[in-house]
Amino acid sequence: MLVLLTLLVVYSRFHSDASDLKHADLTTKTTQVPAPPSGTDQPKHVFEALDQLPLQKDRLQQAVTDSEPTTHLHPTRMAYEDDWCIAFTDLHPQDFAYYQREREDWDISRGRIWPAILEGRVIGNHESSQYIAPYMEASYDTIRQQIQNDNEFAMVAALYRPDLNLDLDTQRAIAFRLVVKGHTSKALSHLVIIELVQAQTRYRRTNQVNKEAEHHLYRALAFTVYGIKHFDLDPALTYLGAVSTADFPLELKPRYALGEDNRIQEYLAMLTQWIDEERANENLQLPTTDELPKAAKHDFESRLARLYLDFGSELNDLKGVLPDTVSTMLEGSECVHRQVEFFGNFERRARNRAR
């Protein structure tokens, strides 16, 4: 049985003071999901912060691209192997169906899975919801055992369930294990929220961006950037959704807190090295960037267009503090700009019809 590996190693490296980062203890520890807590005072503020975020803003875009292709929008159809841009308008129906299947497989492989219903809200309408459905109502002991068995779907479900009262170290351990296994979407997004909540907590104690608050900001950005570099924009969506809320302190936004001369690359390098070492130790072979399915790269462009539409100014601020190679990935190709225009016009027409 493969026991869940905690990332106390990486967390201790990230949590240590700047002067100690290069000398942090690298001893890997093994742990289990703890027994159910006796009280109800376990931290739930991370889940509360997640609940306050708007539902992922690619829902309308997702609904459009999941619909049947409409021939009149683009009478000249293309094959999947061609140089197309918007699957919904460009592909032949059979190629569009193939794209949908490939994208769904990509979503599942990256842990981009939503429960069908969460706290009374319908948020998942994908076949992938079935993979975590058994664990959304399962008992604590069942979830605990399945996580100990290295069941990634139980892990994803656990990160949606505040009722399990998992402490932050356990939440981190689950999320990091998912990342090592390549399931970055929900896991990195959850880690981003943990660190942003922690940064706000430290800031509000003193009304200053002290070292502790700054370290949490760097961790949040390292998780965000790791996702971007691996064609997963869900952590960026989570980050931008959080920092764009009205109550997020202006002083903690990247342009003001960190500036261009920052240490994001250093934190990212530590995170990447640790993940690579863990995968090497387990002989986990994941696809390289060149081996990603075509749907993954088109999905990245679609989601990037969504970020431009919903978080234009915040996205530009984020690009201004990121390493150049990552910022370049967010510049937006001709296809991205075409999608911004297409979906922007689509939404305006939808709003006009609703009046």
pLDDT of the chain, 355 residues: tens digit per residue: 333 433 343 444 444 433 333 322 222 333 355 554 444 344 556 666 666 565 554 444 454 455 555 544 555 789 999 999 999 899 999 999 999 999 999 999 999 999 987 766 666 656 789 999 999 999 999 999 999 999 999 999 999 999 999 999 999 999 999 999 999 999 999 999 999 999 999 999 999 999 999 999 999 999 999 999 999 999 999 999 999 999 999 999 988 888 767 899 999 999 999 999 999 999 999 998 889 999 999 999 999 999 999 999 999 999 999 999 999 999 989 999 999 999 999 888 888 887 7
Nearest to 310 by CA among 110, 59, 132: 59
- Domain locations along the chain: 43-285+293-354
Nearest to 212 by CA among 222, 199, 195, 193: 199
Nearest to 232 by CA among 297, 161, 171: 297
**CA atoms 103, 108, 113, 115: torsion sign:** positive
Q: How far apart are CA 178 and CA 182, in angstroms?
A: 6
Strands 121-122, 117-118: pairing kind = antiparallel
Q: Which helix (H) or strand (E) holds 55?
A: none
